Amino acid sequence: MTEETGPTETAETPKPVQQLLHHVEFGSGTPVVLLHGYTIDHRLLLPLEPVFAARRGWRRLYVDLPGSGRSPRLTGPVTAEAMGEAVLRFVDKVVGDEPFAVVGISYGGQLARHLVAERGPQVLGTALIAPLVKPDGERTLPERQVRARDEALLAALDPADREVFTSIALYQDDAGWNAFRDHVLPGLRAHHREDAAELLKAFLLRQAPESRFEAHEGTHLVVTGRQDHMVGWRDQLELLDHYPRATYAVVDGAGHNVHLDQPDTVHGLLGNWLDTLTAQRD
């Protein structure tokens, strides 16, 4: 399901029109906006869908960020602020003034926190999965690990696919490749590379979302991977002072794609978060 157009421009004010973001929608009830990470698309988050499908009353909105998947590119400079504005515009159009929850993974975690700063009490809570917190060079990262490696499998892969897979994956075997192929690779192939390169120059919001509010009383979940060599797990602890009702989990045997590496654990944590939100809502 896709929302296509914004306000039309006039001859007197010739401004570019930023189209709204493509999204895939399931269910009905309280909206949940799901935001993926850098250079991928909404398909990364679809493995979480069984958790929602097992519970009634949640309208799931899996969004493609600007320049990713089937969403249009930004019409102006590609910055974290512009990405955040596009997501806000999507929420205002598709969610309106309803209370809603947010799931954000990696870069999407930063945008989820931006929604908290912008919409405050309208946000019921967030589930932040391996969220981006600090810029490259300032992150506290564990040593890079590989828990499984199938040399025959890797030799059979397309060289470009093998390079990106082995740069990320903790489990470089059949199971790891199948998950990566189905949920990561499609988005990697669909994103706009020039925009992705431009975003790296303004990757983080100029002002940390939490600097704009003292504390948010919603129900929050932070899940990190113990072996995540991309954003780590220690820096995210700094978020907890701003989210007094947050649950924090660091999952062993999980890299950056923690929900793919340890799906049962992440599904359990996410289900508990949803059940808590449901009890508060009902």
- Spans of all domains in the chain: 23-145+192-281
| pLDDT of the residue at 12 | 41
* Fold of domain 23-145+192-281: Rossmann fold (3.40.50)
23-55 per-position pLDDT tens digit: 999 999 999 999 999 999 999 999 999 999 999
Helices first, then strands: H and E counts in the chain: 10, 9
Res 233: pLDDT: 99
Half-sphere CA count of 180, side-chain side, radius 13 A: 23
What is the structure's pLDDT at 282? Answer: 78
What local confidence, expressed as pLDDT, does residue 18 receive?
58
The pair of three-digit structure tokens given for residue 270, joined into one six-digit string: 């996410």
This prediction has a pTM of 0.92
The answer to whether the beta carbons of residues 82 and 100 sit under 8 Å apart is: no
pLDDT at position 281 is: 84
Closest-CA residue to 35 (of 131, 91, 126, 105): 105
Regions of the chain where pLDDT drops below 50: 1-17
